[in-house]
């Protein structure tokens, strides 16, 4: 018998989980249908956009993700304290990005005067929403249900889009976390969809190497299809790599990003029985392929805000294009 999610997910045991959700039917609903030749590639962007936006609203960090032809992989870190620290108005601002809420909540958000009993009802709603914004089940519900409705509308059909409830695996050790992340980031390579991590579209490793997520476009697309009411918070980045262990509270991954890239690169070069894809052995290491100087890399990752305009802003891009 399938266990309830509350018995499978426990932040006290570990905040890290590997999530998998698969499509139904015999077609490549997020890729290319081999029988008809029809492309559904655009749906990958739907999923990636919504995943990043939802992560910013929920107390859930994204460590790794890969949007495949008929399934998605996500490695998450649950961060309930981030939601506990928010006041009532901040909770409502996040929740109403997704749902209108009952009439009293709508009146509160508009600044209308409520009596004591009505304010008590709104306070109760806030605590319900607070718990939902910390909950992995609600996160996945808000990710998968709108995608299913959108896909069915496009296909002029009804019925299930996702195979079943999402599957979750608790990651209890550092080895498990790294293994799951590398497995997810290498999924397109193993499937023969790309020959190296930096060219594997709709994956976290490509986004880490060459950030290209367009926040305004993502928000507009979600609003156009009626899946978002708005977006009132800053975009949350992928969970960062700390680079070292320090005698202070650390919220990121306790590894260096360049070490992780080399780990993924080394793993991707290994042949595996039954898998058609791998990184060709003749390719140089990933840091060499990306022409990354270690000292420059260190400055970029430790002083990103200070050097952003100079190295990553629009003017810097124009200088690179002109060169």
Q: What is the pLDDT of residues 250-302, one digit of tens each?
A: 788 888 888 888 888 877 776 555 556 655 665 565 556 556 565 664 555 44
Check residues 285 and 15 and name the one with the higher pLDDT.
15
3-state secondary structure of 81: helix
What is the predicted pLDDT for the residue at 38? 78
CA distance 56 to 54: 5
Instruction: Report pTM.
Output: 0.80
Flag whether pLDDT at 308 surpasses 60.
Answer: no
Low-confidence winner among 22-31, 106-115, 145-154, 171-180 (lowest mean pLDDT): 22-31
pLDDT digits (tens, 9 = 90+) for 222-264: 898 888 898 989 999 999 988 766 777 778 888 888 888 888 8
What is the predicted pLDDT for the residue at 235? 92
Q: Note the residue count of the chain.
A: 323
What is the predicted pLDDT for the residue at 154? 84
Six-digit token pair at 181? 């992340």
Tell me 72's DSSP state: E
Tell me 285's DSSP state: P
Flag whether pLDDT at 158 surpasses 80.
Answer: yes
3-state secondary structure of 65: strand
């Amino acid at each position: 018998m399938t266990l309830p999610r509350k018995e499978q997910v426990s932040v006290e045991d570990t905040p890290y989980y590997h999530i998998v959700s698969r499509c139904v039917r015999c077609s490549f609903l997020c890729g290319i249908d081999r029988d008809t030749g029809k492309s559904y590639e655009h749906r990958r962007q739907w999923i990636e956009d919504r995943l990043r936006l939802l992560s910013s609203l929920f107390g859930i960090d994204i460590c790794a993700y890969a949007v495949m032809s008929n399934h998605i992989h996500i490695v998450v870190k649950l961060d309930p304290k981030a939601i506990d620290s928010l006041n009532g108005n901040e909770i409502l601002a996040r929740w109403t990005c997704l749902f209108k809420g009952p009439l009293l909540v709508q009146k509160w958000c508009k600044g209308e005067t409520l009596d004591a009993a009505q304010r008590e009802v709104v306070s109760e709603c806030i605590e319900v929403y607070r718990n939902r914004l910390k909950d992995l089940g609600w996160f996945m519900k808000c990710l998968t249900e709108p995608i299913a409705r959108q896909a069915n509308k496009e296909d002029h059909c009804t019925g299930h889009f996702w195979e079943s409830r999402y599957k979750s695996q608790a990651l209890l050790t550092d080895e498990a976390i790294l293994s799951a992340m590398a497995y997810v980031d290498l999924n397109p390579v193993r499937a023969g969809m790309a020959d190296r991590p930096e060219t594997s579209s709709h994956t976290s490793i490509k986004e880490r190497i060459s950030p290209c997520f367009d926040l305004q476009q993502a928000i507009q697309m979600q609003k156009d299809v009626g899946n978002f009411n708005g977006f009132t918070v800053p975009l949350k980045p992928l969970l960062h790599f700390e680079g070292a262990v320090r005698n202070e509270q650390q919220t990121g991954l306790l590894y260096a990003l360049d070490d992780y890239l080399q780990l993924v690169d080394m793993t991707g070069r290994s042949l595996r029985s039954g898998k058609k894809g791998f990184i060709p052995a003749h390719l140089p290491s990933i840091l060499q392929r990306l022409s990354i100087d270690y000292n420059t890399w260190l400055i970029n990752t430790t002083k990103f805000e200070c050097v952003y305009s100079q190295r990553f802003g629009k003017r810097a891009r124009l200088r690179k294009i002109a060169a």
